Chains A and B, each alone.
Chain A
Amino acid sequence: MIVIEGTDGVGRSTHIALLRTWLESRGHAVLDTGMTRSILAGRGIKEAKKGHTLGRLTMQLFYATDFIDRLENEMLPALRAGFVVLTDRYIYSAMARAELRGIDTAWIRSIYSMALVPDAVFYLRPSSPQLLVERVLSSGRGFDYWESGMDLHLGEDFYDSFIEYQKRMLKVFDRMSTEYGFHVLNASRTVRSVASDLRRAVTKLIDEPATPTEDNVSQLQVVRDKPTPAKSTVKTLDLNKEAS
């Protein structure tokens, strides 16, 4: 299970697409997944975001529903079948968003306590929010209400709000990076050099079979034995440790 994390416009989807093709060319089956892509809640979340009336708590729980649906119905079955799971964002983005909205971190952690600990988290770190602005604008999509944190009323317009929101986001990610042991990659470089770093790290991960995967296998076992992950995995993850 490989996670690509990072804020908006940092190039996550580009790198996932490159990594997927590369892994498949080397003979590995890949499942790629990401936020709001669940069959259960994906559409509903997109609809709910359109109206800009999505409250803070409602938003966190809707995303958690989306995540658990993908965990139970996509990620776990794929891992059991021997796939490499590539995920575009994971619980860390969800927890960071919650934190920026003043949500109790202990609460959000316990909601996500049934998540699996990934084998690696690659954090694509931009040097500054300005770099993200360039990417967002050149993508042609322009500023998004939620990605600019407009619900937090941080600035006079989309630009001010985006910069402030992403600045805060970077701060949270930097802290999590030590807390959860992210592999930090400088995302301000060219696509090619970031991609080659990613490949090197992923090769190492796949070629060295032992280490953290052992834990994950035993967790998978627990989940499989009981149909109710809410019960079985709650106490097994380091996510559950008190925030310090």
Chain B
Amino acid sequence: MISYGQHQFPGKLFVVEGTDGSGKSTQLALLYQWLKAEGYPVFFSEWNSSPLVKDTTKRAKKRHLFTPATFSLLHATDFADRTERDIVPPLKAGAIVLADRYIYTAYARDVARGCDRAWVREVYSFAVKPTVAFFFRAPLDVAVDRIVSGRPNLKYYEAGMDLGWSDEPEESFTIFQGKILEEYDRMVSEFGLTVIDATRSIERQQREMRLLISQHLKKRRGKTH
């Protein structure tokens, strides 16, 4: 088993992280379009997308079957399948892999749920270290406002209702997101996350990302502009 930071692949892995409503998925979609247009082989991989695990997660969320430990382990199972199926093989093939949420999402959420920080890191230690991990940082009130105004019904686990902090979904969500944000902030130096100010314009954030990413890419042969 090869551990985090030890993998050597010809491909590149770029991941986006951040609280709900930070705009990271929008930015990743724009990045995808750009890389495609530039002629790079790009592969997109999303959190909670393993064909083997998806149904189990969906059912467990609906029926409220999770504890913090099993929530963590089932998401790790999903992530392991993504790693074995969607991340490692394309990286070996020299492709660019774009991941919407990565291990840092698990570290933030699971620790906010009360799991042991060291234990969660150990569980995910098989993960490939990203070439660049972008953290879209939005102040708590901005992020909460984006989600709450856009979606009237917060989901049970999304709002951290399983933790019993508040019966009020919006209040629970705000407490939960606050803890998640704290964990993200702590990970910036621990894992060298690249912080993007998510309050600035979409265009400006995208320009910054493209600039950073292009430093890691080889020029495509035969590409004319």
Interface positions of A (Cβ within 8 A of B): 39-41, 43-44, 47-48, 51, 53-58, 60-62, 64-65, 68-69, 72-73, 102-104, 107, 110-111, 113-114, 226-231, 234
**Nearest-CB distance from B163 to chain A (Å)?**
8
User: Is B68 touching A47 in the complex (CB atoms < 8 A)?
Assistant: no
User: Is B76 touching A61 in the complex (CB atoms < 8 A)?
Assistant: yes
- Which listed segment binds A: B27-35, B80-88, B95-103, B196-204? B80-88
A228-B68 in contact given A55-B84, A65-B74, A104-B1 (Cβ < 8 Å): yes
**A60 proximity list for chain B (CB < 8 A):** 80
What is the size, in residues, of chain B's interface with A at 8 Å between Cβ atoms?
36
User: Is B115 touching A58 in the complex (CB atoms < 8 A)?
Assistant: no
User: Is A227 touching B52 in the complex (CB atoms < 8 A)?
Assistant: no
Can you spell out 16 A-B residue pairs with CB atoms less than 8 angstroms apart? A39-B65, A40-B60, A47-B52, A56-B84, A57-B83, A58-B84, A60-B80, A62-B53, A68-B69, A68-B70, A68-B73, A104-B3, A107-B122, A107-B125, A111-B123, A231-B115
How far, in angstroms, from A104 to B6 measured CA to CA in the complex? 14
User: Is B53 touching A44 in the complex (CB atoms < 8 A)?
Assistant: yes
Q: With CB as the reference atom, state the residue of chain A lying closest to B125.
A: A107
Is B143 an interface position by the 8 A CB rule? Answer: no
Interface positions of B (Cβ within 8 A of A): 1, 3, 50, 52-53, 55-56, 60, 65-70, 72-74, 76-77, 80-81, 83-85, 110, 113-116, 118-120, 122-123, 125-126
User: Is A113 touching B119 in the complex (CB atoms < 8 A)?
Assistant: yes
User: Is B70 touching A44 in the complex (CB atoms < 8 A)?
Assistant: no
User: Is A230 touching B120 in the complex (CB atoms < 8 A)?
Assistant: yes
User: Is B56 touching A44 in the complex (CB atoms < 8 A)?
Assistant: yes
**A107 proximity list for chain B (CB < 8 A):** 1, 122, 125-126
A61-B113 in contact given A47-B55, A72-B70, A103-B1 (Cβ < 8 Å): no
User: Is A234 touching B119 in the complex (CB atoms < 8 A)?
Assistant: yes
**Nearest-CB distance from B57 to chain A (Å)?**
9
**B125 proximity list for chain A (CB < 8 A):** 107
Q: Looking at chain B's contact residues, is the secondary structure mostly helix, strand, loop, or mixed?
A: helix
A53-B52 in contact given A114-B69, A227-B67, A230-B119 (Cβ < 8 Å): yes
Q: With CB as the reference atom, state the residue of chain A lying closest to B126.
A: A57
Most chain B C-beta atoms within 10 Å of own C-beta, residue among A47, A65, A72, A102: A65
User: Is B73 touching A65 in the complex (CB atoms < 8 A)?
Assistant: yes
**A56 proximity list for chain B (CB < 8 A):** 84
- Which of B50, B68, B114, B120 is the one whose CB lies under 8 Å from A58? B50
Pick the 10 closest A-B CB pairs, nearest first: A44-B56, A55-B84, A228-B114, A61-B77, A57-B80, A65-B73, A230-B115, A104-B1, A48-B52, A58-B81
**Nearest-CB distance from B115 to chain A (Å)?**
4
Q: With CB as the reference atom, state the residue of chain A lying closest to B2.
A: A104
How far, in angstroms, from A37 to B134 measured CA to CA in the complex? 40
How far, in angstroms, from A54 to B84 measured CA to CA in the complex? 9
How far, in angstroms, from A113 to B52 measured CA to CA in the complex? 25
User: Is B69 touching A61 in the complex (CB atoms < 8 A)?
Assistant: no
Q: With CB as the reference atom, state the residue of chain A lying closest to B68.
A: A228
Q: With CB as the reference atom, state the residue of chain B lying closest to A231.
A: B116
How far, in angstroms, from A39 to B67 measured CA to CA in the complex? 13
How far, in angstroms, from A216 to B73 measured CA to CA in the complex? 24
